[in-house]
Structure 1
């Protein structure tokens, strides 16, 4: 039997405990009493906040309340909102045809930003082997914890700079889709990109470190990812309290 390609990442110092701690925080947040009666409004607020945060991480930062009021017309913000809204409908396709889903996400995110000929197509044909490898992982090539899988999807797409325009928004949407499809966040309640945005210097540095492929670089990114998930769990709890107040 071939070995799991992500298994060695769990042996990096502090990674497995950090991921376990983050998973416990997420599971606790998902048990909030507000989700029994107000899950829809909570999910809508999470979708708004995580989309705005994702656009901001691609240098398109706008006030949350302005986006909520509909006065922000920035195409990257609207692309992030479209991608987030589409995740539920893409959940079943993601493990079966991940390359197809990535193309769809890019079209949703960048359709008002890049030339039509660039939509849904990787910028560099040389990235195809790594994209194929990533697709193989998503399609059942690993039994690693879902949070680890999402971190690798996210980090790889950032490192590859695979798509024209707001590639980071695509990467973050694909990572969130991994959490949804993998069952960690089946209702899309985890505002992961708020977690990344709250630690933006660390996010940027750790993503660059991941791209080096060194053990220290991978460890840096995975520890950041766990910390971002904890912050996202806190955000979910705060949203629940605000909606039920």
Structure 2
């Protein structure tokens, strides 16, 4: 019998109510504006703003207008490149998660390293990446592969946990494991966004959770560090933080300001 690993995490103190409140914030946005009003232009704008925020969190100095003009650095260009395929990749993340993660890395890192490193999961013969400032060292390749494989298997199994919880855990695991040579933060945040779409939290991708992560940047590395080191307390705190991020992402949606 397969085990639902996400369900007990959703039952941690305060997580269920926080996840419902975050989901309500997104639902209110979509209901009040009306899904019929959500055109591809609004989705594209939300994804662009998310790309800028994710790149800024990774250290990009580019402004939103520079990103919009295509005059940005490799981090921002990679984040924008992801937006072009995110809605196509999202439906595949529950059935072929590793393939989606590697494709996200190919898109994110195209300007950051050699071509043979794109979509490449690191091995024990390669240096451990240190591309998310403030995190403890990434685990060795053997542990990374074991945990990544388990995460992928669990994603393909049924769960009663809210999609937001699943998305938050995938984000944290990818960030802590850092399975790729570069751009792990961009990949982790894009994977979270894919799951928020795929699991029906924000099926039209008009919220901007990446802005939530950026606006709460002061607790981003510490939240991930506690997730990695503080057991269920760290996991709970990361889940609560993500609920706050998703609610904030709904507030920052371009749909909230459409006349």
The TM-score with structure 1 as length reference comes to 0.92
- Aligned 1:78-157 pairs, distance under 5 A: 78-124=77-123, 125-126=141-142, 127-157=144-174
Number of residue equivalences: 241
Is the 1:55–1:77 contact (alpha carbons within 8 Å) kept by the matching residues of 2? yes
Show structure 1 runs of 5+ residues with no match: none
CA offset at residue 34 of structure 1? 6.3
Question: Is contact 2:4-2:154 (8 Å) kept?
Answer: no
**Structure 1 range deviating more: 36-45 or 80-89:** 36-45
Give the number of the structure whose residues are more often helix, by fraction.
1
Deviation at 1:60, TM superposition (A): 1.0
8 Å CA contact 1:57–1:197 kept in 2: the answer is: yes
Indicate if the aligned counterparts of 2:29 and 2:256 stay in contact, CA closer than 8 A. no
Could you tell me which residue of structure 2 aligns to residue 22 of structure 1?
22
Tell me, yes or no, if the aligned pair for 2:121 and 2:181 is still in contact at 8 Å: yes
Q: Deviations over 1:182-236 (max 9, x none)?
A: 1211111121101100110112211111112511111110111000001001112
Runs of 4+ in 1 over 4 A off after TM superposition: none
8 Å contact from structure 2 (residues 206, 255) kept in 1: no
Q: Are 2:167 and 2:195, in contact at CA under 8 Å, matched by a contact in 1? A: yes
The 3 A distance-change label for structure 1 pair 241 and 159 is closer
The counterpart of 1:193, out of the listed 202, 210, 225, is 210
Cα distance in 1 between the residues matched to 2:149 and 2:159: 14
- Counterpart for residue 127 of structure 2: none
User: What is the alpha-carbon distance in structure 1 between the residues aligned to residue 11 and residue 94 of structure 2?
Assistant: 26
Which segments of 5 or more consecutive residues in structure 2 lack a partner in the other structure? 124-140
**Counterpart position of 1:69:** 69
Q: Distance in 2 between matches of 1:75 and 1:32?
A: 37
Once the two structures are superposed, residues 48-71 of structure 1 have per-residue CA deviations (whole angstroms, 9 ceiling, x without a partner) of 110000011111132112222333
Please say if residues 150 and 178 of structure 1, whose CA atoms lie closer than 8 Å, have aligned partners that are also in contact: yes
Question: 1:170 aligns to what?
Answer: 187
